[in-house]
Amino acid sequence: MECIFGIDVSKATTNVAILVDETFIKEFKITNDNPGYQTLEDALNSFKTPQIIFESTGIYSRSLRAYLQRNNWLYTEINPLKAKIDMASFRHDKTDVLDARGLALAMREHHYKPTYQQDPVYSELHDLERTYQDYNDDIIRAKNRLHKALQLTFPELEHVLSNTDGGLYWHLVQLFPHPELVLKFEVNALADQILGATPKNMGAKRALRIADKLLSLAKLCASSTSVTSHAVRATVYYAAEVERLDGLKKDIIAEMQVVAGDLEEVKYLLSFPGIGIKTVMCLLGELGDLRRFHSTNAVNRYVGIDLIRYESGDHKTKSGISKRGNAYARKILYRAILNIVSAARYQPSNISVYYQNKKQSSTTKRTKMITIAAVGRLIRTLYHLVINNEYFDPKMSLAGQ
């Protein structure tokens, strides 16, 4: 006797359809709380080895997944796109009740394997990584607002340093959001102000160079606001907000390092030239346990760099990536390639050599396409390191080129 529980999860409630052999013997709705899960538990215990299938619905299915893991139930958590495709032949209308039935029928037809159950540490890393991405979005908005505010108060200030990122620049903006706040000092006194407010130790000579440039820029500036205007206060606020968010991002990465402290794959991933601790933590947060993927092609599909083609009669389109997967993971891997290429001058690898060879042989500017191709190779390499518990070997890697 084959017993399948098809479960359709919504925000507050869950529909359950029990399929025994070819007959639905019971259908019911539960709330997504302890009393509701106890009802589900009683139903599950009525059968010897029930199969459980539900569709991944983001944060709403997390509660059900956690309950099943706590109670040691095997389950299949199916991707919504795959569920839609596999249920298309026997689902014409869409309701929560019919979705629960459709999932059970899909399990009977396709016999999905139970989902690989990751260590809970990966879920914690995922939550931390998504908070990191939220902070990253916030800091981008705050930087844009800071830029607009500076255009009113002291636009030349953006040229005082070569980089408008970092604690020193944000401190200077908070100290001198308006040229009048600079012009009231002589160069030596201004240098002392800079030395007293910088987040890191700075030499007196560098402080003097910055003070001299700051004075020159202040004399050039024709500010559109007065020193007592609201725009000046807004500029200070945005600079402080950018600095605060940058600190929160660093705290998140530090917390992720503590959480991931016992994971063996961290040291193997860090052994790859050009990949730092921030990239490793973010990748683990988005990809989870790489051992749960049966192949690198599965990782490619999860990330969304699997190739798709369209042909109809004489009409053909160029191959492109699906972009149906995890956009955050795709972005992290894309930036990782750029870091690997930058580090290649001192630490070459199979990925950097492949990237440079493709760039040199290409007659057109196809940087994005080449980078995505390099991402595919990077996934294969990192997957190999984790599956085989190996450190990256530059000699073996380059020998294979």
CATH value at residue 52: 3.30.420.10
Of 49, 83, 117, which closes a domain?
A: 117
Q: How many domains does the chain have?
A: 3
- Mean pLDDT along residues 253-267: 95
Q: pLDDT digit string (tens) for 308-354?
A: 755 555 555 556 788 888 999 999 999 999 999 999 888 989 999 99
- Mean pLDDT along residues 87-94: 70
Of 117, 148, 171, which closes a domain?
A: 117
Q: Is the pLDDT of residue 50 over 90?
A: yes
Of 237, 257, 277, which closes a domain?
A: 257
Q: Where would I find the beta strands (DSSP E) of 36-108?
A: 51-55, 76-78
Q: Is the pLDDT of residue 198 over 80?
A: no
Q: For residue 73, what are the domain limits?
A: 3-117
| Under 8 Å between Cβ of 31 and 12 | yes
Q: Of 362, 349, 336, whose CA–CA distance to 401 is shortest?
A: 349
My answer on whether 128 and 93 are in the same domain is no
Overall pTM > 0.75: yes
Q: How many helices (H) and strands (E) does the chain have?
A: 17, 9
My answer on whether 218 and 281 are in the same domain is no
- Euclidean distance between CA atoms 178 and 146, whole angstroms: 13
Q: pLDDT digit string (tens) for 51-73?
A: 999 999 888 999 999 999 999 99
